[in-house]
Amino acid sequence: MIADDLRHATIAAVNRRVVVVTAVHGPSAHFLPQAHASLCAQELPEGWEWRWVIQEDGRTRDVRPYVPDDPRVVFHQGRQDRQGGPGVARTMALAHVDGAYVKVLDADDRLAPGALARDLAALEADPALGWATSRVLDLLPDGSTAGFPGDPEHGPIERGAVLDFWKANGFRAQVHPATLLVRRALLLALGGWMALPASEDTGLLLALNSVSRGWFSGEVGLFYRKWEGQVTGHAGHVDPAERDARMAVVEARARALASFGWRPPDGADGPRARP
């Protein structure tokens, strides 16, 4: 009886846990303490907790010194001779994720106050929502912030809406994948992040939107750091041939998922449609 009680208590605790996943490599590691500080400032509803899984892309001596000494933080590394990019690192981190929800946090970004609680409240209130995003402000090198136009209305995002906007606006989604909070079961069902050298997070976002309604919070949820060493600033990220290929795969996956009429099981995106 005692063993059963402990098992049920453990399951209940895991079901009320948000696991934050961060992919990191050497150049961005020195930002980890700031990301950690933004996590520590989050306030979750009573009975909820967060864990942070930091996954290094590869294996060096450059990251561990910046990993916070916090029992809620777990650090894992890949192999020294095998770097796959942020999408691979995040997907590998899923091996250590046991919570009901997964939150994305890039190593060089910072969560805004209240971000976790707002996203969690939206998904807990409506089982038909599979994921949530929020407004982003760019964090500039001088410490100032800047927003950009085009945010959707605060509230639910219907299936297919992100793909339609992305296609009509030069492959720019109206919500930012770096702000994603997603149900773990749904994330696993879609295979995690795409195996692409870049745009792997956009690919996941469009796939999620193809099978599930989402949520957008009009309050700022993330400060997206702009700095000289960020991966998206490299010339290779905007190489036309590679970019066209990435966008083609991202779109094809999303449209294929939509064409199947697939929906997550009960509890992840509402009841299954009956024949």
Tell me, what's the pLDDT at 8? Answer: 41
Nearest to 59 by CA among 82, 85, 27: 82
The DSSP 8-state label assigned to residue 272 in this structure reads P
pLDDT per position as a tens digit, 29-85: 999 999 999 999 999 999 999 999 999 999 999 999 999 999 999 999 998 888 899
The DSSP 8-state label assigned to residue 114 in this structure reads T
pLDDT per position as a tens digit, 229-269: 666 555 556 789 999 999 999 999 999 999 998 776 554 44
The domains located in the chain, with CATH, are 2-260 (3.90.550.10)
Q: In 71-122, at which residue ranges do the beta strands (DSSP E only) sit?
A: 73-77, 101-104, 110-111
pLDDT per position as a tens digit, 151-187: 999 999 999 999 999 999 999 999 999 999 999 999 9
Entry pTM: 0.89
Nearest to 140 by CA among 110, 182, 102: 110
Gap between the Cα atoms of 16 and 36, Å rounded: 20
Gap between the Cα atoms of 22 and 150, Å rounded: 27
The DSSP 8-state label assigned to residue 82 in this structure reads B
Tell me, what's the pLDDT at 12? Answer: 54
Q: pLDDT band at 274, cuts 50/70/90?
A: very low
In order of 42, 129, 153, 185, 212, the CA distances from 269 in angstroms are 26, 6, 21, 10, 6
